[in-house]
Amino acid sequence: MFFAASWCLGRWIWILPIVTNVWIWLSFATTYGLAVAQNHTFPDFPYISYTGIEEPESGIFTFCVAVSAIMLAANAEMRFLFIREKMTRNRASFTKHWQRANTAGLVLALLSSLGLLLVACFQVDTMKPPHYTGAFLCFTLAVAYLWLQTAITFKLQRARWEFVWQIINSIATCIIFLLFSFSKTYYKMQRKAHPEYTKWDKLRGVFLLSTVTEWLLALSIMAFVITFVSCFRELRVITIDVQLKEDHNRYRDQENGQLQEALTDPSTA
């Protein structure tokens, strides 16, 4: 994924977080607009997933969100490589715990992207278990990823604005995430306990709180990705070394031959 991104953007790799944000919000705006225009959902204010359950917006939603998941994974991989290079250049300042934290961040991001992919591929109206599992992975692991990256940014002693942005963003994301979780749970519990209550009357307030905070949660997570622009600006050469098996074997044989000569050379005795 990161190779495809670096090949496409080259030295302009720093715009990847911006392109990712624009793509995601254009995707959401497109499916929302289509769904509202065709009376497939109500304008104020549906859950994100409910903007893509009818044709034709369902196909657009699946494609666009799946691409978004791949783009977010590419951002995470780029960030991982950048941090790894920084840690390699300053080994004395970074213990193995920080190196493991960097790897853990990549794992969290990839699992979160996988969750978003599940959201895209399994429609909420027909396949709720995998859809909700994906949403849980996407949001929960994303929040953990934000805090981990904020800690790493502090350790790297990056520009003050970058750390301040990330810490404020992480705090705001946590608050929004909690509001979304509690309001969503409360709404579901009330619907189960009182089937006569609907989102159009007595549960209107809590329903709107849960839907609005879901959109805000997505917005806050994407706003965090924008902070990657500054570190991606420092990336210049991104390559993948490919070695054929026969070349690897030849190189190994040459090394073994040189070692054998060194062991048998009388002058070295």
Which two structure tokens, joined as six digits, stand for 119?
């959201």
What pLDDT score was predicted for residue 202?
A: 86
Which two structure tokens, joined as six digits, stand for 103?
């790897």
Please state, in angstroms and rounded to a whole number, the distance separating the CA atoms of residues 237 and 78.
12
What pLDDT score was predicted for residue 57?
A: 86
Q: Which portions of the chain are predicted below pLDDT 70? A: 1-11, 92, 237-243, 245-269
What pLDDT score was predicted for residue 136?
A: 94
Sorted by sequence, the CB contacts under 8 Å of residue 9 that are 6+ apart come out as 15, 16
Please state, in angstroms and rounded to a whole number, the distance separating the CA atoms of residues 70 and 110.
9
Q: Using an 8 Å Cβ cutoff, are 179 and 213 in contact?
A: yes
Omega before residue 56 within 30° of 0, cis? yes
Query: Nearest Cα to 48, choosing from 138, 178, 182?
Result: 138
Continuous H helices in the chain: 2-9, 16-37, 57-89, 96-121, 128-156, 160-193, 204-225, 228-232, 245-264
Query: Nearest Cα to 19, choosing from 88, 82, 67?
Result: 67
What pLDDT score was predicted for residue 98?
A: 87
pTM to 2 decimals?
A: 0.83
